Structure 1
Amino acid sequence: MSAEASASLVIGEFAKSGSPEPEDDDFLSACWSATGGNPLLLKELTEALAAEHVDPTAAGIPQVYALGPRAIARRVAMWMRRLPPSCAPLTCAIAVLGDGADLGHAAELAGLDRDEALQAAKSLEHAQILHTAVPSDALDPRWGFVHPLVRAAVYEEITPADCHRAHRTAAHLLRDSQAEIEKVALHLLRTLPSGDAEAVTLLWSAARSALARGSPEAAATYLRRALVEPPPTGDRLDLLFALGSAMRRVDSAAAVPYLTEAHELAGPSRQRVEIALPLGDTLLALRRAEEALAIWQQALADTAPQDTELLYQLNACILSIPLCEPGRPDLRQDILGRVAALRSPKPSESTGGRYLDCVIAGHDAVIGDPRAVVRAQRVLHDAPAGPSDGQMSLSFGWLALISADRREVLGSLDAAVEQAHRQGSVNDLTGALAYRAMAWLHQGNLDEAAADASEAMHTGDASSLDLRRLVLGPVLAEVQIEQGALSRAQTTLEWTGVPDPAPLTGLMYYVLYSRSHLLRLQGRTTEALNAALAAGASFSAAGGDNPAIVPWRSEAALCLHLLGRDEEARTMADAELRPARYWSAPRALGRALRIAGTLSEGDADVGLLRQAVTRLEGSPARLEYAKALADYGAALRRHGVRSQARTLLSDALDIAEARGAAPLVQQILDELHVAGIRPRRHAVTGPQSLTPSEQRVFDLAVAGHTNREIAQQLFVTAKTVEVHLSSVYRKLGVTSRRQLGALAEQTHAAAHAADEPE
């Protein structure tokens, strides 16, 4: 029955019983939902509600769902007593097999011949217990219950021993009929452990199937069940390794015990080294760097010199430690020696070679050596993201390209996000989204950065990735600071879990830099200066000297200026110019020039700010370009060059407004007001104002895709699509998809008319 017909029946049944008639739509909807609109079940439920004197209002909804199952169970028991004896075993068999059961399988499980089973099924259908459906890929009808609660009522009456035997028999029936292996495994999950080696094999096969379709959670469920069967002694090690590998895609902390036991069972062997790789990586993600290092160093000692692939991978892992957990001078010196020894002018095409190249690129990027860019490009440019186990290493290649303002990094990050979705790896998705958010931030695309970072925070909360928080939190906080949401930025930095004062180990320099930026804007200048200097100490402990990664000197310079210590401020700002010029990326150099210019004395400011604008003009760092335009325009206004100042400030305002950088917009408007200049109209609406992500959502929406389909194609959440679509509606001045389509047609027609020859 439809919801409307269901409501009429419920009202009528309440009236018959003399109870108050329901008038609350939510209550009536709950009755329909609880019974699936089945009239007999509705009557049974209504009788129970009336007998219990349930108030038919929203307050009575919990009792609808509480009484519904009991009422339906009574109705089912009554029906079954009236039906032929063959109906009871058939209903139990279909309850075990689940909806869409094949009648032949159900008959065999129930101990009936096919004719008996068919007759019983027809009786059950007539009694509205079962219903039939013919799927598109099957000629024979499949059978199921009219409502999940009916199946539950039948299933709960089966004794545990009978249930175990029925599910084991069902598994064998499905296996023999070559059903999908995961359907077989679902029945084995409901059996009691009995040391059945065949059950272990089937569950293991189902786990491989689940991994292939991108469901590591399901794979882990099958493998855990196989582990308690238990497996033959010789299989336990491989089973533990498989289970730990599946779990680390979704929950690093939960993966550690399985990988650790597998590592201990392996004994000295190549397999032990292979297990050491993901075990150490998982420990490092949990910020247990000392344990990870010890495991990798022992594995390196156990690896044969001719096994170059494992040696590459292990060296990549060990070299990543100082980048993730600085603060060990002894290890730093050893690492520098290894980096020098492992450099190669030729790219390695092996997986391990790619990982090693990325980590070396990361070291070069941190110290500000431009060779990092070429090394990272040859690994990541037009290449797949790589196997899941190597994302920690690949992330250093992403960092190098992001810091160098290389647009092609987004292609590699898009591929990594797609792969993480395909593999169902929450851990990899968190990492790829975090670095893609960083790339968007560096380009000044705040909406895209916020969407990716917010989604990564949501996934990261479920996956125990403590190390990722130290990157992700500061990225989102910086986005929120640029948007003027200082209180939200404060909350985001608290989400990282870093105390105050912060230790100078780990990736604390990201958190400390963002903390300094926020404190300065909050007016807590002395605290901001201390945080900036602490960020510098933490970054230096990792060998860091690249302002494209942590521009702590210019941040400290701004704090010193606010404290009236201008000579120290200029010295600090000038100190950032040297490494920025050497690294030569537009964003870092433009920022260093801009801040040195704003702190300069006399006419030196105009020259430095002009250089900043020139360096940033053609770069992807559009928000930093807008800041340079704004500061250059303000300097020219102070020097009396009013006309050029107007142009520069207006161009800066266009960029800042289009990217939602509210504080920068206000700064420019204030400057224009001081100069007595009326700002021109700015492109904050219309097709030209759409960000890249908004444009992709717009195109797919116009093509007729639903929000869910758009989310699947772009590998984002449906919520992210909703956010982008709302922004599109606002910028284009529409309120519906139909209007979007009409606008797109008008735009296309106008473009076509413009192309027509006169």
Structure 2
Amino acid sequence: MTQGPSDPSGADALWERESEIAAAEQAIERLCAETPAASAGRPARPGSLLVFTGVPGIGKTALLTRVRRTAESRGCTVWSARGGETLTSVPFNVVRQLLQPALITLTPDEARVHLGEWYGIAGPALGIAEPSGPPADPQGVCDGLEHGVGRLADALFPLVLLVDDAHWADPETLRWLAGFAERLDEMRVLVVVAHRPVDPGSAAAPHLDRIGQAARPSASLKSLTPDAAAGLTRARLGAHADDPFCRQVWAVTGGNPFDTVELLAKVQDQELEPTESSADELRGLNRSTRGGGLLARLDELGLSTRKVARAAAILGTDIPLDVVAKLAMLPEEAAGRCVEELRVARVLARPGAQPGSLPDRLEFLHPLIASAIYQAIPSGTRTVMHGLAAEAVRLAGQGAAAAARHLLEVHPDDDPELVEQMRAAAREHLAVGAPEAAVRCLERALREPPSDDYRAEVLFELGCATLLTSPARTIGHLREALAASGLEGKTRVDAVCQLAQALVHNDQLAEAIQVIDEEAERLAPGPQRLRLQALHYMWEGIHADEEDSTGRSRSLAALAEPLTGRDNSERALLIIRGFDAMTRGENAELVVELCDRSLMNGVLPPGLGWTDSEWGFELLMMLGSSYLFSDRLDRAESLFGDALRVYQAKGWSGGHLALAHAFVGFVLRRRGKLADAEGFLREALRLADRVGSGLPMHWDAACMLIDTLTARGHVAQALEIVERYGVTPPYPSTIIMPDADSVRGRLLIEAGRVKEGIRALESAEKAAATGGRHNTIMSTWAADLARALAKDDPDRAAGLAAEARTQAERFGTDTAIGEALRCAAALETGQRAVTLYAQAAAYLEASPCAYEHAVARIDYGIAARSVTELTRGLALARACGADGLVARAEHVLESGRGLG
């Protein structure tokens, strides 16, 4: 027979759990062995994650209790939390249970020390700080929580976190826990998670799958064998319990540990002899543990006690006695007496309560009991009790968000007060980074329903709440809001702008422009109409396949020409006009002058910042890109650097931060700091991958990284990025910067796939002609195609090089002219080539683009047979991190062939 635990009489007796206990003890031992002194000067020992799964009553909670005792005996700090069946709609409920008890004992200054710069981002989600500013970014909040727990783990080492009933944890906690589990190699903490198996289609399944995949190990708990059930029976009732009785205990419980322990407790209460003659009574006793038997036991305890049990079931976990009393409509002292009866009846527990005192907090002895009581409450009664609970929670000062989970269960009743409560709750949820919870509240408000005067406003708020998670749903809500009456003035224009943005994100650019145009026609001349006109040109300006690009540019130029930048609508049009001029390759001085006019004393004006919602970040990306491709890398670097700092400070860890990393990285690429650029661009893609897949930000960041890796000479790595992100036609309907076909074509040629590369460059040529985009730095196809065709089609190559030089001189930057001269030199021989290479090197030396200068200097050194120029170019290439270029120059210098 399997040997039982050292304390077999305990309600949490653990039989046949030796391997799980051993795994936990080993994890605790590893954690405690890694002292701060031992880890000095080297990375800390990796954190650990254990996951225990199993059906209800299989012993998961008992196992976590054993882990707690073992950890505490070794001097560990242990924090624990539990999901609740009725609390899944409460955002950050479980993570608050886990962390709040420790954090609320700290002063704000102490909490700031532990959370660092994430205090203002993660603090509101934890309930220890008031939210401020725009809605919090959900991914940023998760990142802040990860950072905070990591800091706390270092400060309170060794730290053990226990999460029970994770299948009932709220989605926000599960999202954090899944991300945290995947980063435990960087932490000094043991995490132990227990949950039931879940339906693969449930909302919790993807998060629990990620947690399980990160576990070391993940164990599925099994039912007790007949021998273990017999051992537990004899340990509890005495060695004289006979075999038929023990066998019947196992048969009626199916080896479920919870049912077995509860059944044996009832055998003791009934003073049954554990012999074969009593075995027939076991089945009836077992039925009283769950379902109807449990409810019958409650009825026997009296009406007041049953009301307290129901009130506790409505409230869920970590149940306040004062709120239970209000909900049961009993004096608190009377409710306390009922609680004591329920404790004796093994229904409720009073964790931490002193004997003879009223407990502040209650919990059910087991979730199975809570579920049975909750589900047995008649539907109508349950609805009324949730309504009363919402009022009790509100009177207790817990706020609209805390009351909202109860209001979600109340039947619609045309109640305008409920609508306002749900709208207030939605604002609270958005402020802490829980948009899904906000959506649930607003959808419930719509079912109430709101009055006709407010319906459009609720729909607008719902559309804004879903913008980050579901553009398609946003489109539906905002279209409905605009079709209803009630949205007027600036609010209506805001809704139109949000709808257009959602349509763009859903790859419906033409529809976005149509929506803007229709609304603009309704408005009289003024700032709001000018705002819509600016957005029209902005979205149309990033369309890769517009039919009349020349006509659009002409009308945009006419509209922007007299503007002075007196308000943000005018400034936006100046930015859009500057971006259009840049992409078309108009004079760079004009581009910079237009962009400068959009600023106030060289900085972004109020209302046009990176986190301001009225215009969106796309406009400022246009501004920075215009500087970037016009050789004003200083201004581009300042703008994109500000974006990075602002998004990090605000905790915006999603697409905004991904694009900020991408453009900061591409500024570094243009400066020739290729290794640094690669780091930023890889981080951009990592951040973008957390948001989704196949998004416009992926295309931009991937093309920037491919271009950078190609410049470094890391062709195989660049091809791997092409494959991973599918950088092949068809491309999105929006402009990709740098041009995707140009980047891909150059890479394919470098990889020796010349014919494929030429086809890609010819596609770029065709797209440039259609869109009128002739910036030879943003779209480098002409020079690369000319070099590729030089041998087999020299006439066409010469024509391409000549046209590229014309366009470059029209644009007028040192980089554009230098690159065009280098292309022309590649098609010449003898002294003519040397002269052109010398001119190219001179222009590129004056440009801010160090890599291009290094290429030109090495090309010049080879053509002129100059060791001095080659050596100078080699030093530049090394400084840039251009490994392929370094190898090329070193080979020529080492061979000495053709050098003077």
TM-score by length of 1: 0.72
Query: Partner residue of 1:103?
Result: 321
Aligned AA (1:302): R
8 Å contact kept, 1:417–1:433:
yes
Aligned AA (1:237): A
Query: Partner residue of 2:465?
Result: 246
Query: Partner residue of 1:212?
Result: 431
Q: Is 1:63 aligned to residue 63 of structure 2?
A: no
Q: Find 2:595's aligned residue among 376, 384, 404.
A: 376
Q: Find 1:393's aligned residue among 600, 608, 619.
A: 619
Query: Partner residue of 2:451?
Result: 232
Query: Partner residue of 1:53?
Result: none
1 or 2 for the larger relative contact order (CA 8 Å, sep ≥6)? Answer: 2
Q: Is 1:346 aligned to residue 571 of structure 2?
A: no
Distance (Å, rounded) in 1 between the aligned partners of 2:844 and 2:742: 23
Quote the offset at 1:303 in angstroms.
0.8
Distance (Å, rounded) in 2 between the aligned partners of 1:494 and 1:594: 31
Matches within 5 A, 1:542-557: 542-557=771-786
Of 391-400 and 61-70, more deviation after overlay is shown by 61-70
Aligned AA (1:353): E
8 Å contact kept, 2:654–2:688:
no
Q: Find 2:581's aligned residue among 330, 351, 364.
A: 364
State the SS of the aligned residue for 1:61.
strand
Distance (Å, rounded) in 1 between the aligned partners of 2:801 and 2:642: 38
Aligned AA (2:512): A
Cα distance 1:197–1:564, how it changes in 2: closer, same or farther (>3 A)? same
Cα distance 1:605–1:457, how it changes in 2: closer, same or farther (>3 A)? farther
State the SS of the aligned residue for 1:248.
coil
Aligned identity (percent) is 22
Aligned AA (2:678): D
Query: Partner residue of 2:399?
Result: 180
State the SS of the aligned residue for 1:280.
helix
Distance (Å, rounded) in 1 between the aligned partners of 2:418 and 2:401: 12
Q: Find 1:407's aligned residue among 629, 634, 640.
A: 634
Q: Find 1:600's aligned residue among 828, 837, 840.
A: 828
Q: Find 1:143's aligned residue among 321, 339, 361.
A: 361
Query: Partner residue of 2:65?
Result: 38
Larger Cα Rg: Structure 1 or Structure 2?
2
Quote the offset at 1:543 in angstroms.
2.2
Quote the offset at 1:535 in angstroms.
0.9
Distance (Å, rounded) in 2 between the aligned partners of 1:152 and 1:592: 76
Query: Partner residue of 1:663?
Result: 884
8 Å contact kept, 2:857–2:872:
no
Distance (Å, rounded) in 2 between the aligned partners of 1:452 and 1:110: 54
8 Å contact kept, 2:313–2:374:
no
Cα distance 1:196–1:560, how it changes in 2: closer, same or farther (>3 A)? same
Distance (Å, rounded) in 2 between the aligned partners of 1:59 and 1:217: 31
Distance (Å, rounded) in 1 between the aligned partners of 2:257 and 2:69: 9
Matches within 5 A, 1:80-479: 89-90=307-308, 92-119=310-337, 129-132=349-352, 143=361, 145=363, 149=367, 153=371, 157-159=375-377, 160-266=379-485, 270=489, 272-305=492-525, 308-330=526-548, 332-344=550-562, 346-350=564-568, 352-369=569-586, 370=588, 371-379=590-598, 381-383=602-604, 384-385=609-610, 387-390=612-615, 391-404=617-630, 405-417=632-644, 422=650, 426=654, 428-443=656-671, 444=674, 445-461=676-692, 465=695, 467-479=696-708
Query: Partner residue of 1:753?
Result: none
Q: Is 1:518 aligned to residue 747 of structure 2?
A: yes
Quote the offset at 1:24 in angstroms.
7.8
Quote the offset at 1:653 in angstroms.
2.0
Distance (Å, rounded) in 1 between the aligned partners of 2:840 and 2:770: 29
Distance (Å, rounded) in 1 between the aligned partners of 2:430 and 2:808: 45
Cα distance 1:646–1:171, how it changes in 2: closer, same or farther (>3 A)? same
State the SS of the aligned residue for 2:775.
coil
Cα distance 1:209–1:234, how it changes in 2: closer, same or farther (>3 A)? same
8 Å contact kept, 2:877–2:883:
no
Quote the offset at 1:142 in angstroms.
5.1
Query: Partner residue of 1:734?
Result: none
Distance (Å, rounded) in 2 between the aligned partners of 1:437 and 1:65: 55
State the SS of the aligned residue for 2:618.
helix
Distance (Å, rounded) in 2 between the aligned partners of 1:506 and 1:522: 27
State the SS of the aligned residue for 1:387.
coil
Q: Find 2:19's aligned residue among 7, 18, 22.
A: 22
Q: Name stretches of at least 5 consecutive residues in structure 2 with no aligned partner.
A: 26-49, 53-58, 71-164, 166-215, 225-252, 263-287
Quote the offset at 1:205 in angstroms.
1.1
What value does the CA root-mean-square deviation take over the aligned residues?
Answer: 4.5
State the SS of the aligned residue for 2:830.
coil
Cα distance 1:149–1:280, how it changes in 2: closer, same or farther (>3 A)? same
Query: Partner residue of 1:704?
Result: none
Distance (Å, rounded) in 1 between the aligned partners of 2:618 and 2:477: 20
Quote the offset at 1:539 in angstroms.
2.4
Distance (Å, rounded) in 2 between the aligned partners of 1:624 and 1:260: 49
1:537-590 deviation per Cα after TM superposition (whole angstroms, max 9, x unaligned): 2123222111121112112123213x4444543442343233334434454444
Of 190-199 and 616-625, more deviation after overlay is shown by 616-625
Matches within 5 A, 1:681-700: none
Q: Name stretches of at least 5 consecutive residues in structure 1 with no aligned partner.
A: 1-6, 46-57, 135-139, 678-758
Distance (Å, rounded) in 2 between the aligned partners of 1:413 and 1:147: 55
State the SS of the aligned residue for 1:167.
helix
8 Å contact kept, 1:99–1:143:
no
Distance (Å, rounded) in 2 between the aligned partners of 1:88 and 1:101: 16
Quote the offset at 1:612 in angstroms.
4.2
Quote the offset at 1:414 in angstroms.
4.2
Quote the offset at 1:504 in angstroms.
10
Quote the offset at 1:503 in angstroms.
7.5
Cα distance 1:192–1:336, how it changes in 2: closer, same or farther (>3 A)? same
Quote the offset at 1:221 in angstroms.
2.8
State the SS of the aligned residue for 1:38.
helix
Quote the offset at 1:133 in angstroms.
9.7
8 Å contact kept, 1:517–1:528:
yes
8 Å contact kept, 1:250–1:427:
no
Quote the offset at 1:214 in angstroms.
4.4
8 Å contact kept, 1:548–1:585:
no
Distance (Å, rounded) in 1 between the aligned partners of 2:402 and 2:434: 14
1:170-203 deviation per Cα after TM superposition (whole angstroms, max 9, x unaligned): 2212223332322222332344434332221111
Distance (Å, rounded) in 1 between the aligned partners of 2:222 and 2:863: 71
1:187-229 deviation per Cα after TM superposition (whole angstroms, max 9, x unaligned): 3234443433222111111222333344433322321222223
8 Å contact kept, 1:429–1:456:
yes
State the SS of the aligned residue for 1:388.
coil
8 Å contact kept, 1:171–1:187:
yes
Cα distance 1:207–1:642, how it changes in 2: closer, same or farther (>3 A)? same
TM-score by length of 2: 0.62
Aligned AA (2:520): L
Distance (Å, rounded) in 1 between the aligned partners of 2:382 and 2:709: 55
Q: Is 1:650 aligned to residue 875 of structure 2?
A: yes
1:115-145 deviation per Cα after TM superposition (whole angstroms, max 9, x unaligned): 23345557778978342599xxxxx985254
Query: Partner residue of 1:698?
Result: none
Distance (Å, rounded) in 2 between the aligned partners of 1:375 and 1:132: 68
Quote the offset at 1:282 in angstroms.
1.9
Distance (Å, rounded) in 2 between the aligned partners of 1:330 and 1:18: 77
Distance (Å, rounded) in 2 between the aligned partners of 1:64 and 1:415: 55
Of 566-575 and 117-126, more deviation after overlay is shown by 117-126
Quote the offset at 1:400 in angstroms.
0.4
From the two aligned structures, give the one with the greater helix fraction.
1
Aligned AA (1:408): R
Q: Find 1:539's aligned residue among 753, 759, 768.
A: 768
- Matched length: 639
Q: Find 1:577's aligned residue among 795, 805, 821.
A: 805
State the SS of the aligned residue for 1:523.
coil
